[in-house]
Structure 1
């Protein structure tokens, strides 16, 4: 086997991910303590950690954006990216994973919660991102490590291999046996683990688990396979090299365990990262990065008062100096993040994470001065919206500008001015996601808003054809106003839209006035007899009369509006509500609950099928009235430990009758009157 590359030669980046409350932020704190980047370990309850420093994160005691902390270990510079665990903030996580050499997936030792890792592991597996698993909170574990690995294997497309087995005293894990070095260690609070003899009662299990590890490695290494078939014990150095190679190529997933709270197993994790995680060159090769350099990839954007825009990026090639040009923007300030602090620097080497000032024209996710064979991180579909109104008069322009900056910081936020309802909508991944955004809006940009549930863009149409005359006549000295039209108003098939025609002969309505009639009709369509926009009708101008002196375009436009206003209520008007096509993705055990969520919301279930590429998941398809969509994501996540989601598109308009329609119309009248 060829010699391994020097894994301390260039800065490396490890992203720390995992479900909400798995202990990611505490693990990063422990890693920084073990590498002496900090000398006192903070805690989440005390709001003293390096990560989660923002008021929004500390108020909720959860990671709401990616946190950056830089340190070094055994001569190698490292950047740790503590990523949000809640699915509502996955956009930041996905963007950070795009610049990582390796990913540490943190989970709790509860097999029943293994399903919570499915979205993360699926994302990593599909993109071939090297990752390992750290089973955290072993200080309170009831389940066995073996049971946890089996549960995790069910949601991982890559084979999982145990790198160590636990040493227990009673119901407590007090150390581990390393399956490659075949050495045993006992945890020591605040210190490196102590080397001890392998307990006799673990000798057989150690041999069994080590053999399984070697067999997994041999699946990807012919030389190692030949050694195993010949009953030859491979040298430990060969095993380490095979592990590093297979991790770099995302062929398998090593599994470690410990307790971030008690700093147990953290130094073992660091050693694995140091000796086995991919190098900068290996990551560049995986991503197919090319370019004249410096090639820079932005994974996060911040807007700070009095400071301006700061882009967090990874420098892939050539290094970067202050004052350099990136895609036409001049770099104005470079910043490093030792232990989470921000310090100004003059240049940064290739491989490092850096903050770059004033890249005004560069967006989150942009790859500057280069190209990559890898797909850009996806932008998450909007699932939840709130309507916003400024509390202070005159803040509308300020609000729009501030929301634009928030959407640049987090691309999974989306701003929409709904032309049908006249509301300003902020879309996101859920209620907490939007509440955090609005808290930032008030803190960073000093704009406070009131929020409400968005209005549903109902429409209306008619069921019966009707003929109606509209005669507009006004005399006020001098020239008067006169216009006379006969209109036939008829329904069209659903989705056919509006059409205007005329059957005028003999010049009873002069040609120059016919466009004015159409204009008057289309102006009326903005609000029908039920108070909503009118769709799916055809209006035909069949007859009329004019006055050679008093007729005008304005008179015929007014006559057309009058005919529509008097004729539409006679055509049996009916309310139409928007119906969405939804696809709800859930673990199989939650499929029936997803179906029930649709049926109890007046939805129509169309069927369900296995989710492609997601073992143990289903997609439930159906129609759902948009009026029932608002908090659907809350119910779905509640039924799936937070991992379920859905996609939606508008499909068609559907009639609403009875008491439901009456309530909507009454509410609309009250809204228009107020």
Structure 2
């Protein structure tokens, strides 16, 4: 690849062949936060000639010109696209966020890509690298994504290159760590006063050539005598790893018999193994040294991408159906074929409006064309989907992004990516196809957001824009879910974590002009009677003319969970006229909905009307409603009212090493472990029942407890009595709130 004998210009190379999927490479850069993905993208763009040495292009844009939220937070929070040209290929570099809250952006990037570069920082501790890398590896494995590994920050390394390679071997290789081996080994200079050694070059193991960048130019030469011994051992292992993954079964026999295998054959087999995801080469890279035109290792990376990663024509793509769900053959992946494309990301620009990042799988997308937009939502493990929708839409301007700049395009052909402005009501995950024969691509799954953020409008002016702003925010980001809770009367935005909520609030303000205040999220509690009780409601008022007169007597008894509120009429002798029995029931149910002790709905009781009194003139519907409510409150005062809390069924999937810590943590949350199951990849699924009030921050806590490797899902199970001491505190809070109000 990069160490084959040929000359590089460091610029775009040959002209890109337009409209050919085999000349396109779509690559997602994934890695933990702070691993240097964006810096690497800039270094690749510099080497490819898309940037000058100042890191800018003619119009002043840089790769780092992103959303103002990203600039303020100093980390990527959304997917960005940087296209570069290299040796006759268009390479679309998809820079994904590294923080776990933004896994939805990672999945969008993987949907748009055909291969992934794992960026791993040597400056971080091994445990942190292993945890995040394992989680991201699972994301790639779920979609069958070919991958390579790039090690960064060797000049400030806390974890040596060899140790990082072994970690990646355990994560990527599973039973065969020899499927993850260095293709190049780093060459480092003398240690400085801080104990760190700068990266000065690379040595290609197959050709045993050293690429030295220490002078500011990429110079090639042979290894020194002192380098040959260690290189031979690493080279032999690499060759054995390549041969083990080769489709040519005769290579192993030739190798074991001592026959020499030429380097060109090894490269060809390596490239095929990488493209089908059977081998994961490890490289290293660093930004360009002072005055240099190329970053260290960037030529080698660009060559790996163009030669070793699959083109869009080679990748297995999502299933295609007609609108009624009938399977359809995938259209020919050619620029002249019928259009089939997908919106992989949606964002808003304050000047341009909605912008859709579109991956074209087949055909050609052109400005001003009319396309069929069809969506059946993004599914998730929790069963949440967006409504089916379809419409005809006119394609706006096409552009290719570079930071915050948008460069106009005449068209976007099969295999390529483009931004489309003002694409009707298209949302993330929608399929674009020809009007005459609408098609649907199988949707990708999104994680269920499990971190609640309750919001309210900051002021009167914000109330009018709040619902529209929240709706647009959720339409752009499928990892958010909006809930209007009928029990707590809160507007709840479900997110992936604290960083996700901060970004949501900032975007509401900056993009949609809506200011909101966060408030504590409340879980929907219930009340019920702990024992039988009786109550008498007397509502008698005299105020000249018609007064108000109603008396009713009730008995209340608890019912099994899930029974709701049952009303029974046992009045005899007409003490409560027939027309007012329904009024009593209405008053009882209204009071039950408001609660009798803590302001939470009363459930699972039978209320029996046994007696009462009326007046021929002063009795009325309103009077008996009031009497029914008073009777229920009096009955509650004569017995203990139990507070019920929702309990969730929780499934926690963690590596085996963390099972004990997770079970102990769940017990501390008043959880009951109901079982464990062995899962794939040395992981365990812990099933438990946990009060929902205890898991509001569980997304964050589990991530911390398991170094980012744990995940969980939850589903409502039932309401159960809350411990008396906790219930008492909640009642006190409710009473103090009502008094202050």
- Find the aligned partners of 1:338 and 1:597 in 2 and give their Cα distance: 46
SS at match of 2:343: strand
- Which residue does 2:238 correspond to in 1? 210
Name 2:485's counterpart in structure 1. 418
Cα distance, 1:51–1:640 mapped onto 2, change above 3 Å: farther
Query: Counterpart of 1:183?
Result: 209
Alpha-carbon shift at residue 484 of structure 1 (Å): 4.1
TM-score by length of 1: 0.90
The verdict on how the C-alpha distance between 1:154 and 1:358 changes in structure 2, with shifts beyond 3 A counting, is: same
Alignment CA distance shift 1:133-1:340 (3 Å): farther
Cα separation, 2, equivalents of 1:227 and 1:286: 39
Q: How does 1:76-155 map to 2 (within 5 A)?
A: 76-109=89-122, 111-112=126-127, 113-141=129-157, 143-155=159-171
SS of the aligned residue for 1:129 comes to coil
**Cα distance, 1:274 vs structure 2:** 0.9
Deviation at 1:430, TM superposition (A): 1.1
Aligned twin of 1:378? 445
Alignment of 1:125-524 (within 5 A): 125-141=141-157, 143-156=159-172, 159-168=179-188, 172=197, 173-188=199-214, 190-197=216-223, 199-218=227-246, 220-228=247-255, 230-260=257-287, 262=289, 263-283=295-315, 290-291=330-331, 293-327=338-372, 328-338=392-402, 341-369=405-433, 376-474=443-541, 480-504=547-571, 509-524=576-591
C-alpha separation between the residues in 2 aligned to 1:663 and 1:101?
55
For 2:235 and 2:300, locate their aligned partners in 1 and report how far apart those are by CA, in whole Å: 20
Contact 2:245 2:278 in 1 (8 A): no
Does the 8 A contact of 1:52 with 1:67 survive in 2?
A: no
Could you say which residue in structure 2 is the equivalent of 1:14?
27
Question: Which SS does the other structure have where 2:94 is aligned?
Answer: strand
CA distance in 1, matches of 2:618, 2:299: 93
Deviation at 1:405, TM superposition (A): 1.4
C-alpha deviation, 1:448, in angstroms:
1.8
Distance 1:232 1:623 in 2: 62
Mark the runs of 5 or more structure 1 residues left unpaired by the alignment.
1-5
Q: Is the 8 A contact 1:188 1:194 kept in 2?
A: no
Alpha-carbon deviations, 1:438-474, whole Å to 9, x = none?
1122212222222122123222111111233334445
Task: Specify every segment of 5 or more residues in structure 2 that has no aligned partner in the other structure, as ranges.
Answer: 1-16, 192-196, 290-294, 321-328, 332-336, 373-391
Alpha carbons 1:576, 1:654 under 8 Å: kept: yes
Q: How far does residue 490 in structure 1 lie from its aligned partner after superposition?
A: 0.8
**Residue 145 to residue 567, structure 1, CA distance change in 2 (3 Å):** same
Q: Which stretch has the larger CA shift, 598-607 or 79-88?
A: 598-607
The CA deviation at 1:659 is 3.8
Cα separation, 2, equivalents of 1:127 and 1:550: 73
Tell me the number of residue pairs that the alignment of Structure 1 and Structure 2 aligns.
Answer: 662
Q: Deviations over 1:293-327 (max 9, x none)?
A: 32111111112224221111111111111111222
Q: Residue 731 of structure 2 aligns with which residue?
A: 665
Q: How big is the shift at 1:605? A: 3.9
Q: Are the counterparts in 2 of residues 175 and 187 from structure 1 also a CA contact under 8 Å?
A: yes
Alignment counterpart, residue 629 of structure 1, candidates 658, 672, 695: 695
Specify whether residues 502 and 237 from structure 1 end up closer, same or farther in structure 2 by C-alpha distance, changes over 3 A only: farther
Which of 705, 716, 724 does residue 650 from structure 1 map onto? 716
Distance in 2 separating the partners of 1:177 and 1:587: 36
Q: Is the 8 A contact 2:355 2:423 kept in 1?
A: yes
Query: Closer, same or farther in 2 for the Cα pair 1:466/1:658, shift >3 Å?
Result: closer
Judge conservation of contact 1:29–1:41 (CA < 8 Å) in 2. no
Closer, same or farther in 2 for the Cα pair 1:609/1:230, shift >3 Å?
same
Tell me the CA shift for residue 509 of structure 1: 4.4
Pair 605,182 (structure 1): closer, same or farther in 2 beyond 3 Å: same
Report how far residue 652 of structure 1 moved: 2.7
**Contact 2:319 2:330 survives alignment (8 Å):** no
Q: 1:124 to 1:470 in 2, by over 3 A?
A: same
Deviations, residues 94-116 of structure 1 (Å, cap 9, x unaligned): 11111101111111235432222
**2:108 matches 1:72:** no
2:634 alignment partner, SS class: helix
Residue of structure 2 in register with 1:3 after alignment = none
Deviation of residue 565 (structure 1)?
2.0
Instruction: Give the Å deviation of 1:548.
Output: 5.5
Alignment CA distance shift 1:512-1:31 (3 Å): same
Q: Deviations over 1:595-637 (max 9, x none)?
A: 3433333333445444x23x24344433333332233333322
Q: Deviations over 1:35-84 (max 9, x none)?
A: 010113559xxx99513622211222111001111110111112111100
The answer to whether the Cα contact below 8 Å between 1:51 and 1:67 also exists between their aligned partners in 2 is no
Is contact 1:68-1:340 (8 Å) kept? no
Counterparts of 1:12 and 1:126 in 2: how far apart (Å)?
20
SS of the residue aligned with 1:93?
A: helix
- Distance in 2 (CA, whole Å) between partners of 1:509 and 1:278 is 82
CA contact (8 A) 1:606 1:623 kept: yes
- The change in CA–CA distance for 1:670 and 1:41 in structure 2 (over 3 A counts) is farther
Shift of 1:182: 4.2
Q: Could you tell me whether the CA contact under 8 Å between 2:531 and 2:640 is conserved in 1?
A: yes
Q: Which residue of 1 aligns with 2:599?
A: 531
SS state at 2:112 partner: coil
- In structure 2, what is the Cα distance between the partners aligned to 1:482 and 1:283? 79
The question of whether the paired residues in 2 share the 8 Å contact of 1:313 and 1:354 is answered with yes
Query: Do the aligned partners of residues 205 and 48 (structure 1) sit closer, same or farther apart at CA in structure 2, a change above 3 Å counting?
Result: farther
Alignment RMSD: 2.9
What are the superposed Cα offsets for residues 474-522 of structure 1, whole Å, 9 maximum, x if unpaired? 5556655444433221111233322223334565545544333322211
